[in-house]
Structure 1
Amino acid sequence: MVKPPTGGTDEGRPKPARLKTAKMRTPSQQAWLERQINDPFAAKARAHGYRSRAAFKLTEIDDKLRVLKPGARVIDLGLAPGGWTQVALERGVRDIVGVDLLPVDPLPPAHILQMDFTDPACGPQLIELLGGPPDVVLSDMAPNTVGHRQTDHLRIVGLIETAAAFAIEVLKPGGVFIAKAFQGGETAELIADLKRHFVEVRNLKPKASRADSSEVYIVATGFKGRG
């Protein structure tokens, strides 16, 4: 168990740590690094051996749903650097395959595919590696941003829709789809489509999602089939 930091202000909260030098860093890089240093979930992830703080988002979701079970087949979309796959393995999943554009260090017995998920050839390869249709499709994908708000927004929505369409195409009856989305992301049409195919669809914001982030997770359970 990670002990809470001590010292700091009179209220018992630690003073935020600041990097001693910002040499060769942009202001946004400096802010990101300082946020990581002061992030309790990032510290917990390092202590637990998780590759990313995002692992705690999935642990909280799964504590509510209990979908990561021994015997479940799982596909992890956008798995880099591997935190969600680590959680699935930790909870007894052995049939799991993940895909990402970035290289990911091995996480046996998981199969890892370095590929563009939007490539039409990717889906069949994932199913082949998994050995059959999944019980759970996870997506923590986020597109590369270009700095243009409207363009980035369209990329985000498009990626979520692609992941949802894939899940609807391949899931077993009773299956689960969990995907990162963003509040205000114009996902009403997507939610409506998911409600036609799943018994329950809801939004969850895990504690590990930063309070100032619009990030939420769409959780669709009880897949009813493609009809």
Structure 2
Amino acid sequence: MSRSGRNPDRRVKTAKKRSGSSTRWLQRQLNDPYVKQAKADGYRSRAAYKLLELDEKFGLLRGVKRVVDLGIAPGGWSQVVRAKAPDAQVVGIDLLPTEAIDGVTIFEMDFMDDRAPTRLEEALGGAPDLVLSDMAANTVGHKQTDHLRTMALVEAGAWFAVDTLAKGGAFVAKVLAGGTDAELLKLLKQHFRSVKHAKPPASRKGSSEWYVVAQGFKGRN
């Protein structure tokens, strides 16, 4: 206990089998107010607050009827959608297993699988108003390679949005430091009336992640 009577930051002892990076990650989790708030609010991850903050700024969930959640695990974003738009049809996909969420159809499969887009569309039963992507490729430790792999997923999500969205719909995706690649940015500006980048407060300051928010889908010719 400090002299002020408050507990100082919690420290984590380094276990013999725990690496220094794992110890730092655990310590950050224990001291993260968003992690604590997520537990209190019943959200599965702190990432839920990123979508809540993006929604507050851009009005993403206002009036949505159909939503696709790409990279749904562990389910925090879909929980937010269900809370903010309880009547919306929600479909999610992820390679990782995701516990069931009431009112959400979940596919445990690779979004890059050729069958994935069709399954998502069929389950949704109509054109989505919003496509969310929190996908990121598994890192290999090489910065440039990791960036390219993640941006390939973002681009695939963007093309899915362009191919399926209802007119006026929106696409939101996690990108890495430096923002959206030139070709992808060109694609989004071609098909959406507004394309902006944002870093919600819930995104850790030291993180390289940003989000691209494309709104006002112009429709398909």
TM-score, normalised to structure 2's length? 0.94
Structure 1: tracts of 5 or more residues without a match:
1-6
1:193 alignment partner, SS class: helix
1:28 alignment partner, SS class: helix
Instruction: Note if contact 1:135-1:175 (Cα within 8 Å) is conserved in structure 2.
Output: yes
Instruction: Note if contact 2:180-2:212 (Cα within 8 Å) is conserved in structure 1.
Output: no
Q: Which residue does the alignment assign to 1:43? A: 36
Among 50, 54, 62, the alignment partner of 1:61 is: 54
Q: Which residue does the alignment assign to 1:106? A: 100
- Kindly report the root-mean-square deviation, in angstroms, between the aligned alpha carbons of the 2 structures: 1.7
Among 108, 112, 121, the alignment partner of 2:115 is: 121
Instruction: Note if contact 2:38-2:46 (Cα within 8 Å) is conserved in structure 1.
Output: yes
CA distance in 2, matches of 1:96, 1:57: 18
Deviation of 1:18 after TM superposition, in Å, equals: 0.9
Percent of aligned positions that are identical: 52
The alpha-carbon distance between structure 1 residues 191 and 71, as it changes in their structure 2 partners (threshold 3 A), is: closer
CA distance in 2, matches of 1:29, 1:101: 23
Q: Which residue does the alignment assign to 2:78? A: 85
The alpha-carbon distance between structure 1 residues 71 and 167, as it changes in their structure 2 partners (threshold 3 A), is: closer
Deviation of 1:71 after TM superposition, in Å, equals: 5.2
Instruction: Note if contact 2:54-2:60 (Cα within 8 Å) is conserved in structure 1.
Output: no
The range that moved more, 41-50 or 180-189, is 180-189
The range that moved more, 172-181 or 70-79, is 70-79
The alpha-carbon distance between structure 1 residues 8 and 161, as it changes in their structure 2 partners (threshold 3 A), is: farther
Mapping for residues 29-40 of structure 1, pairs under 5 Å = 29-40=22-33
Q: Which residue does the alignment assign to 2:127? A: 133
Mapping for residues 154-169 of structure 1, pairs under 5 Å = 154-169=148-163
The number of residues matched between the two structures is: 220
Q: Which residue does the alignment assign to 1:28? A: 21
Deviation of 1:189 after TM superposition, in Å, equals: 2.1
Instruction: Note if contact 2:69-2:77 (Cα within 8 Å) is conserved in structure 1.
Output: yes
The range that moved more, 147-156 or 98-107, is 147-156
Q: Which residue does the alignment assign to 1:4? A: none
Structure 2: tracts of 5 or more residues without a match:
none
Mapping for residues 168-187 of structure 1, pairs under 5 Å = 168-184=162-178, 187=181
CA distance in 2, matches of 1:186, 1:73: 25
Deviation of 1:27 after TM superposition, in Å, equals: 1.2
The alpha-carbon distance between structure 1 residues 71 and 92, as it changes in their structure 2 partners (threshold 3 A), is: same
Q: Which residue does the alignment assign to 2:145? A: 151
Q: Give, as a single letter, the amino acid of the residue that structure 2 aligns with 1:116.
A: D
In the alignment, structure 1 residue 190 sits paired with structure 2 residue 184 = yes
TM-score, normalised to structure 1's length? 0.91
Deviation of 1:70 after TM superposition, in Å, equals: 5.3
CA distance in 1, matches of 2:199, 2:3: 29
